[in-house]
Amino acid sequence: MNISKNWLDSYIDLSDLSTQEIADMLTFAGIEVEGLQERGVNTDLVVVAQVMQKTPVEGSDHLNVCMVDAGEGKLRQIVCGASNYKVGDKVPCALPGAILPGGWEIKEGKMMGQASCGMLCSASELGMPDKEHGLWILPQDYAIGTPVRQFTQTDTLFELEITPNRPDLLSHWGMARELAGISGRTLKQDPAPENADTVPAGDGIRLSAPEVCPLYTATRICGVKIAPSPEWLAQRLIAVGLRPINNVVDITNYCLFELGHPLHAFDAAKVQGPLNIRCAREGEQFTSLMDETYSLLPDDLVISDSTDNTLALAGVMGGKDSGVTDATTDIILESAWFLPSSVRRTSRRLGLGSDSSYRFERGASAWNVLRAAARAVQLILECCGGRAEPIAVAGQAPCLVSEQKAANATVLQQGSQAKVFCALQHVFLDWKELDVMTRGSVPHMEAARILKNLGLRESSAGEWDCPPWRLDLVRSCDLLEEIVRVYGISNIPSSCTSIYVPESRQDRAHDFRTELSRRLAGAGLCEVQTFKLIAEQSSNPSVAAFPYALPMKPLQEGDVIRVALPLSEDHSILRPSLSPGLLAVAARNLNQGAEVLRFFECGRIFRNTGGGKGKDIEAEVLGILIAGKLAPANWAQLKQPSAAPEHLLALLELAAPKASISLSPCKQNREAAALAADIHINGQNCGFFAKVAPAICRTLGIPTDCYYAELDLRKLQQIATAPFKVKDLPLYPGSGRDASIEAPASLHHADVLKAIESAKQKLLVSCHLKEVFRDSSGQKLSADRKAMTYSFLYRDSAKTLTATEVDAAHSSVLQAISRKLPDTKMR
Amino acid sequence: MMKEEIANVKATALKDIAGADNMKRLEEVRVSTLGKKGTLTRVQQGMRDVPASEKPAVGALLNEARNTISAALDERMRELQRRLDEQSVAGIDLTLPAATLPGGGLHPISLVREEAVRILRRMGFCLADGPEIEDEWHCFDALNTPEDHPARNEKDTFYFDSGKLLRTQTSTVQARVMESQAPPVRIICPGSAFRRDAIDATHLSAFNQIEGLYVDREVSVCDLKGTLEYFLKALFGDETAVRFRPHFFPFTEPSFEIDVQLQAAGQAPRWIEIAGCGMVNPAVFENIDKKTGKQLYTGCTGFAFGIGLERLAMIRWGIRDIRLLIENDVRFLAQFQ
């Protein structure tokens, strides 16, 4: 909300404070200062000048070369782009050296080859409210050469963010009251008249929805003269960013910004018979004063008359045909209280907001209904003439005090013939609570003083009556907040007591995940964090899309969790796997020229267990993607190998170093995978391994093979963090033997291992694959054959083996291989 | 006779040793002199014929020759080795660029999250988590957000057809933890939250927060202040000025926003908003107790805080566009290695 310093000055004296001091005071009261604007001209270098000549600049459709008289004895040449002036007009002229609001310094220069020695200014360029489009045309009686600052008022505009619990601050009087309360200053005269002349509305107002609108007042004022507002009023509205319309409408707006209570004025000629405040009918049409038509629901509250025409959408906006125009002579002034949730619902559903709905939905004080009405009547009579009838009151202020408290509540009474009663909220505050919250650092006397300054009254020991405008003060913690806020948290000491709590399951998961991530990063993988919302389909390779999902468990229709109202098609479903994100990252980086694509992500995936009818489950997984080169090529290693399955396998072993990892091909085909295998760690199915389908790589522009693995982090943690004991080091040396096995190209390493195991050779400690040789030319080895060289290590834990013993053991192993794999031969 | 021969062999050997300019040549000299068929060995075999009376003198001469030659060989070998060692580093260009390892590293969000978690765990907080697909009760009702609050709207919050939603804040974990355990509670929860904000340079519809909650008997504003001052000074440096500004959140009262004073090079220090916090609103405790049917939290006090990790990363590293954090461009990520 915008607060004008000049306007504020009418209610509180802040002359001893600088702008910054006021801003700090607001900040530490919990009111965020989002912006500060100095309004008006602050320099003598902007003067009144008269345009003496105006010649179009050749080749430009809007520039003119002007010769202006700025009272310097000779004319000054200035190029100007505005079009709303003529020769003879007086306008503000900024001379070279002038610094305009926003720190903009005027210099001599050239435009389209023409010298320009200054600038002719619009009002907004001088930090003044803009009334016309273009230059600020000054009155002819202003003397040439006079500094414009002599005719303009300076002001400071505070752009404030008011938190939703403080609707009482949404006005100048409210803000002044707050500043007075927190600084202990005195307020000037309350602008609202002390007494309101009221009569019961009788049949004149029908409250058809009393739960939504329990209190409605209407004041008829006859014989008003509609005209532009007086200058002082227009200036104040312009200062806070409003456009003056006519005196009556301006006064309703003025009262809103002065007292915080929204008002509305109807043209009495357009209202037939009594007012009816009722719920709208299903599908009822309403055309607002902005000439937009809305279709209403029974949830919406409207003001209508005996013809059943909708005059206004209650608390939100007036209707097109019921408003005050230049032809209006009699008006009906509305001041009422509407249920915040009702106004909010209507305003949000229709996307129709106003200064009025903003205040009603945050909560207007019923106590302000008559105050605002009386103040507006006073101003209308003063500015527009006419005769006012007493304020017609229907209904009663809503009681916001709980039933059990209501019996003891202090009640304010307003109005002359028709009374409006306003029960004050009262709260019991035990100083012990304050002592606990602040460790006894706030003296009780000081706390009481703070509450009193804010308008609270101690009615009996510990029992506080809250002022009628503070709807947010209901419980003792609300009062504690006020005390701490005003006393200042900087005056409360800091302490750091700590307790020890047991380590949680999540602590251990976090430690595991952190260490795993560091290990993978150390192995040359780049950690990424991709968006959890992905696209259902996308033709953009850099967008993570569902068809690229490679989760552990294949997805059934309905397992995918869709957002009801996505922000964009690219973010419409929750990712069921990390692969779409990682593939999009690979595609994006390829586009940027990256050669090495090695990425991992630890994060949550989502799926429904029962085709949309089961539980939504969330699991933490690790996704690893490799493609492209293993490392960037460089002068020392010109050729880098391309990503291959064994590289990804090595990374899996890094994730679970002590475990045995094997891949077992999936029975079920997956469209996104050319090769698909379950990852077994210590025999447990922990993840999914895939060679990404070449078709996908082509779509994404990935020119090399691309491998992806996804592991369940919970299972991985269980296995990788299982306790273990060290093994004793062998006492006797082992002996190694190599063997090269020629086999059909289709033979799997796993089959060889199985054959070796079948030998049940107790002396065999380990064997590992040293080399796989193939010759596609068929010269050294037939192209459909391969030679696999294995190293075997033999050892006896009780003695040193002799060469004969080793040879015997080795030959038993080789025999087993030949027996089990007849199509092989030893080379 | 013998003496002369010894002298000759010695002289020839010493000359050959001095002339040997590589290890191979030197080895040949050694073999041809001291080897089984070497010149000195052959002379030595002549000892048989030396009269007994001369044996001690000739023997001494022989020994002296052998020792001298051996010493010369060793010396020459050391000299040649020294030359070889010198040659082995000749021409090495230490100004050549490095060979390249595949560059790996952690994501900046992981780095700030880990740092924040490390500091807070040092202060005795333990980790907690909760689902990201939440129900309205844990996301709003429990946290004292009124039924008609603007956030409870499908324009601001991602809802599912099931009526569930993507949590709008990690504060949901406060409710999750309190309904499942008795006080004291001292937890932190780093995690994702979602809001239906269009993505631009300063907004993401999915972002990361770290939430903290401490509930016990007689937890005070002093504890809130002390804890967060310690945390932020650990994060931004001991000298960092920290200030608390009153604010409003439905689930805390009083509520504060926290600013830290930071200075960019060549600029005046500025207060930067970094976190929200406050004393747990008693209504939250009442809601929990009402749900569980136990009176565990009535009479407790506590504080809670929340920090945006993207914001933290942006401030720390001067990241101007929040989208860099989700684009995962390696040219960006490599800067954090």
Q: How far apart are CA A411 and CA A397, in angstroms?
A: 11
Q: How far apart are CA A455 and CA B197, in angstroms?
A: 39
Element (H, E) at A753: helix A749-758
What is the tens place of the pLDDT at every residue in B239-249? 999 999 999 99
A345 contact residues in B (CB cutoff 8 A): 148
- Min Cα distance A166 → chain B (Å) is 9
Give the A window 115-174 contacts with B, CB below 8 Å: 163-166
> If you average pLDDT over residues A429-457, what whole number do you get?
96
Pair B186, B214: CB distance under 8 Å: yes
Pairing of strands A109-111, A64-69: unpaired
Q: Is the pLDDT of residue A546 over 80?
A: yes
Whether B101 sits inside 8 A of A524 (CB atoms) is yes
> If you average pLDDT over residues A487-509, what whole number do you get?
91
Task: Return the ∠ at Cα A158 (arms to A478 and A488), rounded to 5°.
Answer: 35
Strands (E), A319-385: 331-337
Give the A window 574-613 contacts with B, CB below 8 Å: 574, 585, 588-589, 592, 594, 596, 598-599, 604, 606
Whether A618 sits inside 8 A of B100 (CB atoms) is no
The tokens describing A291, both together, are 């000439």
- Min Cα distance B174 → chain A (Å) is 15
Could you give the dihedral angle defined by the CA atoms of residues A244, A247, A250 and A255, in that order, rounded to the nearest 10 degrees? 150
The residue written with tokens 């460790």 in the block is A439
Residue A678 burial by Cβ neighbours in a 10 Å radius (0-12, 13-18, 19+): middle
- How far apart, in Å, do the first and last CA atoms of chain B sit? 80
The residue written with tokens 């049917």 in the block is B293
- Min Cα distance A292 → chain B (Å) is 22
Three-state DSSP class for residue B149: coil
Report which residue type is found at A711: L
Closest residue in A to B280 (Cα–Cα): A477
- Min Cα distance A41 → chain B (Å) is 27
Interface test with B, best of A437, A478, A615, A640 (most B CBs within 10 A): A437
Name the residue among A251, A320, A329 with its Cα closest to residue A291. A320
Closest residue in B to A582 (Cα–Cα): B328
Closest residue in A to B278 (Cα–Cα): A481
Q: How far apart are CA A117 and CA A375, in angstroms?
A: 51
The residue written with tokens 């005209």 in the block is A227
Strands (E), A556-705: 573-574, 596-608, 616-628, 661-665, 673-681, 684-692
Q: How far apart are CA A710 and CA A664, in angstroms?
A: 14
Quote ipTM for the complex.
0.88
Per-residue confidence band for A126, with pLDDT thresholds at 50, 70 and 90: confident
> If you average pLDDT over residues B262-286, what whole number do you get?
91
- Min Cα distance B126 → chain A (Å) is 6
> If you average pLDDT over residues A674-680, what whole number do you get?
95
Q: How far apart are CA A619 and CA A686, in angstroms?
A: 12
The tokens describing A51, both together, are 């345009």
Q: Is the pLDDT of residue A771 over 90?
A: yes
What is the tens place of the pLDDT at every residue in A346-387? 998 999 999 999 999 999 999 999 999 999 999 999 999 999
B220 contact residues in A (CB cutoff 8 A): 436-439, 495
Could you give the dihedral angle defined by the CA atoms of residues A183, A186, A187 and A188, in that order, rounded to the nearest 10 degrees? -140
Whether B254 sits inside 8 A of A484 (CB atoms) is yes
Q: How far apart are CA A392 and CA A256, in angstroms?
A: 20
Q: What is the pTM of this model?
A: 0.86
pLDDT at A232: 92
What value does the mean pLDDT of chain B take? Answer: 92
Per-residue confidence band for A81, with pLDDT thresholds at 50, 70 and 90: confident
> If you average pLDDT over residues B122-126, what whole number do you get?
94
Between the alpha carbon of residue B317 and those of residues A87, A150, B324, the distances in Å are 56, 49, 12
Could you tell me how many CB contacts below 8 A there are between chain A and chain B?
243
Residue A170 burial by Cβ neighbours in a 10 Å radius (0-12, 13-18, 19+): buried
pLDDT at A731: 94
Q: Is the pLDDT of residue A185 over 90?
A: yes
Q: How far apart are CA A542 and CA A590, in angstroms?
A: 10
Q: Is the pLDDT of residue A128 over 80?
A: no
> If you average pLDDT over residues A553-570, what whole number do you get?
90
Closest residue in B to A542 (Cα–Cα): B327
| From B102, B129, B230, residue closest to A496, measured CB to CB | B230
What is the tens place of the pLDDT at every residue in B171-228? 999 999 999 999 999 999 999 999 998 999 989 999 999 999 999 999 999 999 999 9
Task: Return the ∠ at Cα A630 (arms to A629 and A631), rounded to 5°.
Answer: 90
Q: Is the pLDDT of residue B150 over 80?
A: no
| From A506, A517, A567, residue closest to B205, measured CB to CB | A567
CA A262 from centre of chain: 29
| From B103, B222, B326, residue closest to A492, measured CB to CB | B222
A344 contact residues in B (CB cutoff 8 A): 148, 150
Whether B132 sits inside 8 A of A503 (CB atoms) is no
B177 contact residues in A (CB cutoff 8 A): none
A164 contact residues in B (CB cutoff 8 A): 248
Q: Is the pLDDT of residue A131 over 70?
A: no
Give the B window 263-292 contacts with A, CB below 8 Å: 279, 281-283
pLDDT at A132: 66
- Give percent of chain A above pLDDT 70: 99
| From A439, A477, A523, residue closest to B220, measured CB to CB | A439
Buried b (16+ CB within 10 A) or exposed e, B162-201: eebbbbbbbbbbbbbbbbeeebebbbbbbbbbbbbeebee
The DSSP result for A511-574, as a single string, is: HHHHHHHHHHHHTT-EE----SEEBSS-S-TTS-BGGG---SSPPPTT-SPBPSS-SSGGG-EE
| From B98, B102, B222, residue closest to A438, measured CB to CB | B222
Whether B154 sits inside 8 A of A564 (CB atoms) is yes
Whether B132 sits inside 8 A of A532 (CB atoms) is yes
> If you average pLDDT over residues A685-693, what whole number do you get?
96
Q: Is the pLDDT of residue A396 over 70?
A: yes
> If you average pLDDT over residues A644-666, what whole number do you get?
93
- Min Cα distance B17 → chain A (Å) is 41
Q: Which residue has better confidence, A40 or A764?
A: A764
pLDDT at A556: 84
Neighbouring C-alpha atoms within 13 Å toward the C-beta of B142: 23
Cis peptide before B184 (omega within 30 of 0): yes
B127 contact residues in A (CB cutoff 8 A): 504, 506-507, 509-510
Q: Is the pLDDT of residue A424 over 80?
A: yes
